[in-house]
Amino acid sequence: MTEEIAVIPGDGIGQEVVPVAVDVLDAVGAFEFVHADAGDATKEETGEALPQETYDLAANADATLFGAAGETAADVILPLREAVGSFANVRPARAYPGVDALKPETDLVFIRENTEGVYTGIESEISEGVTTLTRVITEDASRRIAAFGFEYAAENGFDRVTVAHKANVMRVTDGQFLEAARDVAEEGDYDHDEALMDALAMHLLLTPEEYDVVICPNLAGDMLSDLAAGLVGGLGLLPSANVGPENALFEPVHGSAPDIAGEGIANPAATVLSAAMLLEHLGYQDEAANVRSAVEGVLADGPTTPDLGGNASTEEVGAAIIDRL
Ligand code: ATP
């Protein structure tokens, strides 16, 4: 059976890095790629940032590869994550040999809850100059992300699982998040430790090598994984998966990078590594390993894009990765 992969490049550098990842997938497997539009440019043309046909395509495809959306990001990626039924955002942050990383020992994975927290969009202006935001934390979603994180660590051979929270201040919401994680750990006999998310930010900066898997509420996972991007050499290197019970969507952690869009110098590594996660999800473990090792080889020996100190273009780096495959 030929798997159908929905391809949604979106805005900015999404248009430049996604085609590289598609070429890489094409080089290692026989997939059917179905392209669809979303993002700022689509909104300008059609009035909608996420056309229904794009939503349906992601919902029905075997997997989705997404690039980035600019101003319309919340209108695009949040519904797309919902379309694939995703509740876990998996964000590995790993330093690669040859890349000038602040902390070359970093090798950890953030498991971020991605359906609730402060990203539910329940905001209002209750009176002139007074605004509020409702933070939603449910027991079900907290248990689900904790179970996913513990199982992910066990399956991938990670020893340490840390649950990030701020239950000393957000007593009700993060209190519930933490309690749910503790219950799941006890039921499954999983070892874990717990860390206040602000202190954890400092510890991750100083001693990232001490951490393996970090389970986080939504916003904390978003911020801590960007922090980790800084430790390993920048946003051009971080892939991610949005995983649901059956379906999944893969995207680089970075956004549309309007500052460099159109210049052809975006680092495609994050998106190609996201494609490797997609391959793994579809059961192509060997192909995923080959893609990873090709990316690692290019990061070590070049060519590299300007964010990593080189002067190669996105296309040149893509061609070098495909050469190695
Ligand atoms: P958006 O609003 O879409 O999130 P942004 O610029 O605020 O865009 P990012 O796109 O994540 O956020 O970019 C943050 C910084 O990292 C920018 O300076 C950008 O140029 C750089 N950057 C992000 N991705 C890459 C990449 N793939 N290659 C090189 N630099 C990148």
**Amino acid residing at 16:** E
Strand partners, 5: 33, 63
- How far is ligand 1, taken at its centre, from the CA of residue 254, in Å? 5
Q: Which of 34-38, 224-228, 311-315 has the lowest mean pLDDT?
A: 224-228
Given 37, 75, 222, 307, which residue is catalytic?
A: 222
Which tokens belong to 98? 């040859």
Q: What is the mean pLDDT of the chain?
A: 96
Whether 239 is in the pocket of ligand 1, judged by its Cβ within 6 Å, is no
Query: Measured between alpha carbons, how far is residue 170 from residues 136, 163, 217, 239 in Å?
Result: 11, 15, 12, 30
pLDDT computed for residue 1 by the predictor: 76
| pLDDT one-digit tens code per residue, 233-276 | 889 999 999 999 989 999 999 999 999 999 999 999 999 999 99
pLDDT computed for residue 200 by the predictor: 98
Distance CA 233, CA 198 (A): 22
Confidence of residue 211 (pLDDT cuts 50, 70, 90): very high
Given 56, 191, 198, 323, which residue is catalytic?
A: 198
- How far is ligand 1, taken at its centre, from the CA of residue 174, in Å? 30
For this structure, is 23 an active site residue?
Answer: no
Q: Give the chain's end-to-end CA distance (angstroms, integer).
A: 23
Residue count (the chain): 325
Count the alpha carbons within 13 Å of 302 in the hemisphere toward its beta carbon: 8
Distance CA 90, CA 113 (A): 9
Distance CA 124, CA 129 (A): 11
Report yes or no on whether pTM surpasses 0.85. Answer: yes
**Is 134 buried (19+), middle (13-18) or exposed (0-12) by CB count in 10 A?**
exposed
Which tokens belong to 214? 């970090």
Whether 267 is in the pocket of ligand 1, judged by its Cβ within 6 Å, is yes
For this structure, is 103 an active site residue?
Answer: no
Which tokens belong to 218? 């939504």
For this structure, is 100 an active site residue?
Answer: no
Whether 70 is in the pocket of ligand 1, judged by its Cβ within 6 Å, is yes
| pLDDT one-digit tens code per residue, 271-310 | 999 999 999 999 999 999 999 999 999 999 999 999 999 9
